[in-house]
Amino acid sequence: MKTDFEQWLAAQFADTGAFTIFIVLVSIGADKVVPVKSSYAHLIGDDMPWPGMRGLLDSARAPWDGVAFFVGLGHEGGPLPDAVAAAKLKQVEADVKADPLAFNRGMFFDREGRHLRIDETAR
């Protein structure tokens, strides 16, 4: 059975073809989600099973409990140029630091590749 991540990746690639993916690793606490590391990559296919992606994420050498992926596309489709992707990554980082609910604008997964969602809590 495919993970939520694998199902999402296949559907995303079928919809857009190659794209840039912005990756934000997070630490998840009882009442907060904190970004710990981020990067971007250009995906040119959907042949990435969750164990392979998890291995790549673990190679960042930062402890993580979840990961958010945000899709970026060039004006005519396809991956973004590197300079544009680097600037967009800074914007993604600022967005999720300013408002953790911004993670819901991407696709958010736990270490098992299961889809997560962040909900507001009452204080």
CB neighbourhood size of 82 (10 A): 11
With DSSP H G I counted as helix, E B as strand and the rest as coil, what are the percentages for the chain, rounded to 5?
A: 35, 30, 35
Judged against a pLDDT cut of 90, whether residue 119 lies above it is answered with: no
**Contact between residue 70 and residue 92 where contact means Cβ atoms under 8 Å apart:** yes
Please give the Cα distance from 9 to 41 (Å, whole number): 14
| Arithmetic mean of pLDDT, 8-25 | 97
Judged against a pLDDT cut of 90, whether residue 31 lies above it is answered with: no
| 121: in domain | no
pLDDT band at 120 (very low <50, low <70, confident <90, very high): confident
Report pLDDT digits (tens) over 68-112: 999 999 999 999 999 999 999 999 999 999 998 999 999 999 999
How many domains is the chain partitioned into structurally? 1
Helices 4-16 and 50-58 meet at what angle, rounded to 10? Answer: 100
Range(s) of the domain holding residue 39:
4-116
| 34: in domain | yes
Please give the Cα distance from 116 to 82 (Å, whole number): 29
